[in-house]
Structure 1
Amino acid sequence: MNKAKKILLFDSIIDGHHADYLTHLIRYWVQNRLAGELIVVTQQSFQACFDELTTGQPGGRNVRFVPLPPADIDAVHGALMLTRSFKEWNLVLRYIGQHQPAHVLLMYFDLFQLATWLGRSAPCAVSGIYFRPDFHYKRNPGFKAQLNGFRKKVTLKGALRKSSLANVFCLDHSAVEGLRQLAPAAKVWPLADPVESYSITPAEVQQLRHDLQIDANRRVFLLFGYLDDRKGIEPLLDALKELPKPQQQAVCLVLVGPIQPDYKQKIEQKITDVGGEVQIVRVYQEIKGRQIQLYFELADYALALYQRHVGMASVVVRAAVSRKPVLASDYGYLGHLVQTEHLGVVADTTSPAAIRAMLERVLTTEIPYSKTNLQKLADHNSDVYFAETIFKQLLP
C-alpha cells in the first residue's frame, strides 16, 4: 500500500455528530472507491456502523477499523482539560507509529490545540476539524474572561503555526478569515456541517403526528438533540408558563433526544409547573438516520435555544433540509447566520421574557423567512460536500 495515500481518522468520542462525521467520510470513501487506505480509530461501539458501511462493498476492502481500548478512553476522558490535550495527543502519536499514515485527521481539533503546539511533533501531516472557535467573539469586561480569551488566542496561534499542521477545517465560517490572519501560512477551510437528506412522504409525517397524539390545530415546536442545560429547555418552559392561555393552547412542544435521569426529573417538574394548556410531547431517546428528518418534517418551527453557544449547530441545517424556520439564540455565529440569512428569528435565549416575546410574535404574526436561503444552506451542508472538502485536501 502506498503510504502517500494512507489516511488515519482519529476520534475518541463517538456520540452524536462524531459518529455521523465518521460515517460521512467512510461512506464517501467506499462509494467513490478512493485509492489508498483509510484507517478509522475510534470507540469499539462504532464497529456495527462501520461494518454496515463497508461489508460486501468493493470500496470497503481498503478501509480498516481499529477500536480504542476502553482503558485508553477512560484515561483521556477522565483527565483535566489541559492534561487531556497531551494525553490524547500521545495516544494519537501511538497509532501514527503503529500504522504509519501519511496524514492524520483529528476529528475534534479543539481538544488538541495545546498539545499539537507544545507537545511532541507528529511524523506525518496533521489536519483537524475545528468545531467551536471563539477567539473572535466579544469578551465580557471582567479580567478573568479577558485573560482566558488571551490564553485561548495564544494557544490557537501556536497550534496554527506548527509546521506539521496541514489543514484546519472550520465549522464556524465567520471565524475563517480571523484564523487566516492569526497564521497567514496556515490552510484554513470553511467546512459544511453535514446532514444526510432523505425523501419523506406526507403519509409518514401524518402517521408520526398520530403516533405522538399531537392535538389538531396546534403548531409544533421541535427541540431536538441531547437534552441538557445547554439547550435552553428551562428558560423555554418558563416562557411557555407565562404565555396567555389562548397562545398556550396553540402550542405543541416536542422534546426529542436522550436525557440524564437527574435532568429529566428537573425538566418534568418544570413541565408540571407549565400546566396543561401547553401540549408537551416527550421522546426521551436517541433518534437516528432517516427518522431524524421525519421529526423535522413534522415540525412547524425548529428551536435552537442554545445558551451562549459557540459555533454552528446541525439543528439549523436539519431545519433547512426540511425548509422549516428556526427560532434561535441571538448569540455568536449561530445567531448571526439565522439573522443575516433570514432563516427565522432570534432572541436572548437566556431570558424567559425574551423567549416569551419571540413565541408571542410567532403565534400572532407570520414571521418572515427565506425558503430560498434555507434551500441554499441545505445544499451547502450535504454529507457529500463535507467529505469532498476534506478529502480534496488530504489526498495527494
Structure 2
Amino acid sequence: MIAESDAGQGAEALMLFSPWCYGHYPSYLYHLIRYWQHSHRQSIQGASNNALNSTLSTLNIVVVPRFFQEHQDVVELATAGPATIRFIATTLEEQKNVETAASGYRRAFAQYDLMVRYAERLKASQGLVMYFDSCQLPFVAGLKLPCPFSGIYFRPTWHYGQFTLVAPTWREQMQRWRERFFLNRLLAHPQFRTLFCLDPFVVDRINKGRRTAPAVYLPDPVEFKAAAIGEIAALKARLQIEPGRRILMAFGRLADARKGTSELVAALSLLPIERCRQLCLLLVGEPDPNGQATLEQWLLPLRQSLPIQIVTNYSYVPESEVSHYFQLADLILAPYQRHVGMSGILLLAAAAQKPVLSSNYGLMGELVIRYGLGLAVDTTCPKQITQALYRFLLEPIDCLFNSKQARCFAEQNSPEQFASTIFQHLQSHPISA
C-alpha cells in the first residue's frame, strides 16, 4: 500500500485495475510484475530488445484491501523490485460497494466509478482492466475514463456454435446476442485500445472486416516448476494418502455449483465397491469456511457408505506449491457445468503431463478434444462421469491422453508470452486520451 500523494509519480503511468482476490488475477499480476522487473533490469543494463524501454515508466496496481492478506507473495514480489511498481488499495467502503452490489449491472458501474476515481488520483496515462467481462456496460453506454484503456476478455461465447454439439438454451442464445451487441459498441469507443482475448478461436472473428486489429490472442500463463520425486513423496505422506490408491484431484473453489463437485460425488457413488477401493479423492483449495461446510455435506454419503479415501486440504495454496499437487495426482477433475472461457486447470494438468476429466462444453471441451488432454464428457450427467472414471481405471493412459500435444499446449502458454503480449501492445499505442 502506498500513500496517495506518492501514487501519481511517473510521467507515463499504467494502471492495472484488479479489485478481485480470487481466480486468475493474482497469478496474472505476479507474472506481469516479474516481467516488468526483468525488463527494468534489462533497461538498466542497456539491453536493446527491452520491451518496456520506450513509454511505460510506472506500474500502479489497484486492488482491494483483502488482497494484501490473501496474496502476500504477490505484494512482496513487487516491493522487492524497483520503485516503479506500486500497489494501491481501495478503501474498505469501496470494496464493500463493489462486492455487495445488488446486480451485475450495478457492480459494473461501481467498478467504473472506481476506475475513474483511481485513474484521476494516479494520473494514469493508460488503464488495463484485468477482468473486462464484468464491467463493459458503462463503456457500451459511452461513458469515458480519464485515460485510454484496454481489457482482458475472458468469456466470449457467441462463437461456441462452431465447435460444440450442445444446443444452446434460450438464455445462452440471448447471452450470445448481448455479447455481440456489447462488443460492437465497445470496439467503437474512442478511448478503447486493445481487447486481449484468452480464447484463441474468437480473435479472427472479431477482427474480420476491420481496418485495424483491436483483438489479440492472449496466452493464459502457466508456470510449472517440477518438484523432485522426494518432495512429491513427502507431500503424499503429509496428506496421508494410502498406498496403491489412484489419486483423483479437484482444485480450486470447489463449493461453487458451477464446478460440478456435487455431480462428481453423485458419479463416484455409482462406482462398485471394488473400484472405490482403488481411488483417493483429493480436494485442494476452498479456503472459505462456508464452502468447506457445503463440501463436507456433499461428501458425507461417500464417507459413510463407500471405501473411497477422501482427503481434503482446505486452504490457499501458494503459487510455488500448486504444481506439486498436479504432479501428485493421477487424474485431474474438471467436471464444470457448461463452463465458459478458459481454465487454468487444463494448462497445469498439461504441464504436469496428467490427463483431465473435463466438460465437453464450449472452449474447454474443444481444447481437451483438440489437444488430446484427456476425457471430455457431458458433466451435467453423473452417469457419463462414472463411465469416464471406468475408462480411466481400465484403459492404458495412452488411449486417454496425448502427452506430446499436451506439452505443446502448455508451452504455448508461458508467462513470458502472456506478459510480453500485454506490454508490447500497450506501449504500441500513443499515450493520449
TM-score by length of 1: 0.93
- Find the counterpart in structure 2 of residue 363 from structure 1: 393
Partners of 1:175 and 1:31 in 2: CA distance: 31
Q: CA offsets, 1:123-179, max 9 Å, x none?
A: 422110111111223496665543343223212221122121110111122222232
Tell me, yes or no, if structure 1 residue 63 matches structure 2 residue 93: no
- Find the counterpart in structure 1 of residue 45 from structure 2: none
Is the Cα–Cα contact under 8 Å of residues 256 and 284 in structure 1 kept in the other structure?
A: yes
Q: Which runs of 5+ in 1 are unaligned?
A: none
- Find the counterpart in structure 2 of residue 372 from structure 1: 404
What SS is found at the alignment partner of 1:353? helix
Question: Does the C-alpha gap of structure 1 residues 246 and 144 become closer, same or farther in structure 2, counting only changes over 3 Å?
Answer: closer
Tell me, yes or no, if structure 1 residue 93 matches structure 2 residue 100: no
178, 182, 203: which one pairs with 2:230? 203
Q: Which amino acid aligns with 1:99?
A: L
Is the Cα–Cα contact under 8 Å of residues 130 and 169 in structure 1 kept in the other structure?
A: yes
- Find the counterpart in structure 2 of residue 325 from structure 1: 355
Q: Which structure is higher in RCO with an 8 Å CA cutoff and minimum separation 6?
A: 2
- Find the counterpart in structure 2 of residue 171 from structure 1: 198
- Find the counterpart in structure 2 of residue 155 from structure 1: 182
Corresponding residue pairs, total = 393
5 Å matches for 1:337-348? 337-348=367-378
Q: Which amino acid aligns with 2:312?
A: R
- Find the counterpart in structure 2 of residue 383 from structure 1: 415
Q: Which amino acid aligns with 2:120?
A: G
- Find the counterpart in structure 2 of residue 73 from structure 1: 95
Question: Does the C-alpha gap of structure 1 residues 354 and 81 become closer, same or farther in structure 2, counting only changes over 3 Å?
Answer: same
What SS is found at the alignment partner of 1:221? strand
What SS is found at the alignment partner of 1:173? coil
- Find the counterpart in structure 2 of residue 54 from structure 1: 78
Question: Does the C-alpha gap of structure 1 residues 141 and 50 become closer, same or farther in structure 2, counting only changes over 3 Å?
Answer: closer
Partners of 1:388 and 1:87 in 2: CA distance: 30
Partners of 1:365 and 1:142 in 2: CA distance: 35
Q: Give, in angstroms, the shift of residue 323 of structure 1.
A: 1.0
217, 220, 227: which one pairs with 2:254? 227
Root-mean-square deviation (Å): 2.1
5 Å matches for 1:1-396? 3=11, 5-33=12-40, 34-35=52-53, 36-47=57-68, 48-57=72-81, 60-79=82-101, 80-138=103-161, 143-181=170-208, 185-228=212-255, 229-258=257-286, 260-274=288-302, 275-366=305-396, 367-396=399-428
Q: Which amino acid aligns with 1:389?
A: T
Partners of 2:229 and 2:221 in 1: CA distance: 24
Partners of 1:265 and 1:190 in 2: CA distance: 39
Is the Cα–Cα contact under 8 Å of residues 171 and 312 in structure 1 kept in the other structure?
A: yes
Is the Cα–Cα contact under 8 Å of residues 180 and 186 in structure 1 kept in the other structure?
A: yes
Q: Give, in angstroms, the shift of residue 63 of structure 1.
A: 1.3
Q: Give, in angstroms, the shift of residue 271 of structure 1.
A: 2.4
What SS is found at the alignment partner of 1:32? helix
TM-score by length of 2: 0.85
Is the Cα–Cα contact under 8 Å of residues 157 and 183 in structure 1 kept in the other structure?
A: no
Partners of 1:351 and 1:28 in 2: CA distance: 43
User: Does 311-320 or 268-277 show the bigger shift?
Assistant: 268-277
Partners of 2:168 and 2:225 in 1: CA distance: 46
Q: Give, in angstroms, the shift of residue 84 of structure 1.
A: 1.9
Partners of 1:26 and 1:273 in 2: CA distance: 45
Partners of 2:125 and 2:290 in 1: CA distance: 45
